[in-house]
Amino acid sequence: MNIREQAFWWLKIALKDLERSEYSLKINDRAAATFWAQQAVEKALKGLILALKGDIPKTHSIRRLFEALGTNLGLNEEELEEAYELTQFYYLSRYPDVVEGLPDETISRRTAERAVAIARRVVEAAKNAMERINREH
């Protein structure tokens, strides 16, 4: 199987997850919006890492994925910190025992909006990087 093709699969599913995140925000499903934002970033970074390095780290940590990638994709320090914060939504948005209640009751609209916004920036940056890699090879 072609690694480049697999990398684009990851990017395509990241774009789909970003759409899910944006739709969830539109209908005020804050838990889903934050979960899909985290997933979009995780998958976009994994696709890019696969394209560059031929293997994907087994982690849900956005910080560790950026470290494995070895670049910040042109994000400033504040944007990176916001991206790192998305990792928590892998758990907080799905498990009521983690938040001791309903995730939608603990995740604010502002938090969900920030998560979706940073996911847009990271996924777009990863997409642009993948397109550059594709042109160069």
Q: What is the DSSP string of 76-128?
A: -HHHHHHHHHGGGHHHHTT-HHHHTS-HHHHS-HHHHHHHHHHHHHHHHHHHH
Mean pLDDT of the chain: 93
| Gap between the Cα atoms of 68 and 66, Å rounded | 5
Q: Which residues contact 53 (CB under 8 A, 6 or more apart)?
A: 68
Q: Give me the percent of the chain exceeding a pLDDT of 70.
A: 99
| Gap between the Cα atoms of 7 and 52, Å rounded | 9
| Gap between the Cα atoms of 13 and 18, Å rounded | 8
**Domains held by the chain: number:** 1
pLDDT of residue 1: 64
- What range does the domain containing 110 cover? 3-136
126: CATH: 1.20.120.330
* pTM check: above 0.85: yes
Among candidate residues 24, 112, 131, the one with its CA nearest the CA of residue 73? 131
Which of the 8 DSSP states describes residue 101? Answer: S
| Gap between the Cα atoms of 24 and 50, Å rounded | 28
pLDDT class of 98 with cuts at 50, 70, 90? confident
